[in-house]
């Protein structure tokens, strides 16, 4: 689309790449917990820091540790790796100004909007509002770029 570097597009590409790498790191962390009692580890961590297990955040840690123990680790890993592959692919495409990557970014970002809106509705906070706003801005930017790309492609045809 443009010969010069597009700073907002590169920033989005970098962010998407970081999300992909973070998903890989998280999956490796999950993999390291494969043969451990995660709930017992959570209780040990809470005890080590002398926290009340019934307090909000320690209790959440215990609940999530219990859910992780019940989850199918193989499925979680496959989902994390698929997510990472999508994010890294999207980052590569955006970095190199590819139209398919803009479509992928707009669609994959748009899928999260209803979920983020629902989450904001039930758990109103500045962080949740910021995440929703950032995602809306990214999706709108991608849609604008796609619209401009389409208009530029149609302009030479109209002039001929």
**Token pair belonging to 38:** 């995660």
DSSP 3-state of 147? helix
**What residue segments make up the domains of the chain, in order of their start?**
1-96, 98-160
Tens of pLDDT along the chain (160 residues) come to 444 678 999 999 999 999 999 999 999 988 888 788 888 889 999 999 999 989 988 999 998 888 876 667 888 889 999 999 999 999 999 999 999 999 999 999 999 999 999 999 999 999 999 999 999 999 999 999 999 999 988 877 766 6
Which pLDDT score, from 0 to 100, does residue 158 have? 66
Length of the chain: 160
Helix (H), strand (E) at residue 118: helix 99-122
Which pLDDT score, from 0 to 100, does residue 70 have? 63
């Amino acid at each position: 689309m443009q010969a010069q570097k597009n700073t907002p597009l590169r920033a989005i590409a970098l962010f998407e790449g970081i999300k992909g790498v973070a998903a890989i790191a998280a999956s490796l962390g999950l993999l390291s917990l494969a043969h451990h009692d995660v709930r017992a580890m959570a209780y040990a961590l809470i005890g080590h820091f002398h926290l009340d297990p019934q307090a909000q955040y320690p209790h959440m840690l215990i609940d999530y540790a219990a859910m992780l123990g019940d989850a199918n680790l193989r499925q979680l890993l496959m989902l994390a790796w698929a997510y990472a592959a999508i994010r890294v692919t999207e980052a590569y495409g955006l970095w190199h100004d590819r139209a398919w990557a803009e479509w992928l970014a707009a669609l994959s970002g748009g899928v999260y909007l209803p979920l983020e809106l629902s989450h904001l509705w039930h758990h109103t906070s500045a962080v949740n509002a910021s995440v929703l706003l950032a995602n809306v801005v990214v999706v709108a930017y991608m849609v604008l770029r796609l619209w401009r790309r389409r208009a530029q492609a149609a302009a030479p045809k109209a002039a001929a």
